[in-house]
Amino acid sequence: MCLCAIAANPPGVPFVVSVGTETLPDAPLQLDLDARCLATPGAFDALVGTMNDYPALAFVSPLIVTADGKVMGGADRRGSRHNYVRRDSHPSQLVWMRRNRPGEGSARGEIAVPPNWGLRQPAAVFVLLGEGGETIQGAESDVTVIVEQSIPEPDHSAGHRNIFEFVRTLVRDGQTVKFWAMDGQAKPEYAGALQRMGVEVLSGALRPDLTQWLRQHRGSIGRVLVCRPDVADFYLERIRAACHAPLIYYGHDLHFVRMRMQAGVAEDRRLASAADAMERLERSIWQRADIALYPTAEEVEIVHSLCPDAVARQVQIFCFDDFPPREAMPAGTEVLFVAGFGHAPNVDAAVWFAAEVFPLIVAECPDARLVIAGSAPPPEVVALASATIAVRSWLSEAELTEAYAAARVAVVPLRFGAGLKLKAVEALRNGVPLVTSPVGAQGLPDLDDVAVVAETHAQLAAAVTDTLSLNDADWLARANRQVDYAAARFGRAAMLLSLQAAFEAAEARRG
């Protein structure tokens, strides 16, 4: 039956079956397979793919289930415990793939694997017939639990991208991360991205109760990071009652500040009242958590001024792995505005810029074209499309890179908002000369040394027109000053140091 299963579900690479041989020295990869274990579709390819992603990996083991589809011990294989790639100090006793020759190349996977360790790959499933079995080795410790509104969708918004990079940075450092989604939605595509990084995702139909889960694992939990005011308000006391780990609150931005600015622009009394209520909620969260984290020094100063007893600090929220210099100015005259349109400040900025600022630019530079790019544009943004304005939605990462490469100017014309803006950081990192409002410049000290910060519609228009008229040498000089600015502040190592310092401060506060 074992051979029949191999024949029915063969790997996608050339292979040889050898019965009773301990080592096949000519084979770069070797699978040791107990005859009671039957391969399921895709199992071999999942193991080979993992070894290819990690050239230095010693071994990889699959998920082994019983004939009724349960993992050893009778648990449901769909549970969160068995849905993510995890480090393993010992291979499976029944099925494991090992490397007979040293691998070449750098790892494409995200997980930091110690020497002589391997991985468990749940996408590779083998069915064990008969009695016997094994247990998964290796206890986890010093776990970071992240509690968020939902599983991050990094192509949808800056906030989601921010959380995804937090996770990626911790995982690359070899830390263990668990992710709890308040809304309970499974989101297989986005959950899968975390699971392939080695993150257990606690969401979907089989999600356990958070309080019970924390009590069950309290000895291994190093800290709990809770994001957003509504999530923190619901969970803080529950988490505190379930485990002694430090409680870290991450607000994404000061919600009440953003709401109050929006109320002023819109002259909306109800929104102003909601901003007051949000301020009361955020103040209470600062006092209930061990530490509060925000993207900008200005926000931390506001926290300390309103609540002197609170512990708050700045944390780096965006990072990149490289900062390639610009080598040539693009030929066109595109003005680029990138935004996630599930966020009200971005909708307001697009509509206002198209109506009040861009006509002034076209009057001076008739060839100018505005590209508005981002996720989920609402009807009022879609309606802006014209002969001189293009609205592009749901760009892939490659398409967004192309959009930045083609742009002569990037604009961030926000009239209200709070916190650090990914669109501004991306323009800096991609070397596209930036023109921004003061709101778009929040959290970027000395930005006016490398970019233009302009407040009124006339000032923004003049700054964009001036940038479009730069010659090649001046444009390149400004572009690469921005790249240098970003490289000095938004590397992954800097994000890790920032998170580690925040964790240490929280632990010191908790005692």
Structure tokens at 8: 């029915």
| Spatial CB neighbours of 4, under 8 Å, sequence gap ≥ 6 | none
Closest CA to 479 of 410, 414, 412, 421: 410
CA separation for the pair 400, 402 (Å, rounded): 5
458: left (phi over 0), alpha (psi -120 to 50) or beta: alpha
Can you give the pLDDT at residue 281?
Answer: 98
Can you give the pLDDT at residue 136?
Answer: 46
User: From the CB of residue 448, how many other CB atoms can be counted at a distance below 10 Å?
Assistant: 13
Q: What is the four-CA torsion angle of 166, 168, 169, 172, rounded to 10 degrees?
A: 160
Q: Whole-model pTM?
A: 0.86
Calculate the alpha carbon distances from 245 to 79, 289, 456 in Å: 24, 11, 48
Single-letter amino acid, residue 10: P
Structure tokens at 36: 């009671």
Closest CA to 158 of 342, 372, 401: 342
What are the structural domains, with CATH classification, of the chain?
2-128 (no CATH), 143-319+494-510 (3.40.50.2000), 334-489 (3.40.50.2000)
CA separation for the pair 380, 369 (Å, rounded): 19
Single-letter amino acid, residue 273: S
Residue pair 345/271 in contact by the 8 Å Cβ criterion: no
Residue pair 361/341 in contact by the 8 Å Cβ criterion: no
Closest CA to 64 of 25, 28, 36, 99: 36
How confident is the chain (511 residues) per 10-residue block, as mean pLDDT? 87 82 76 89 93 91 83 68 86 86 76 90 88 53 95 92 96 94 93 94 87 93 97 96 96 96 94 97 97 96 96 96 96 95 94 97 97 95 97 92 97 95 97 97 96 96 97 98 97 96 94 75
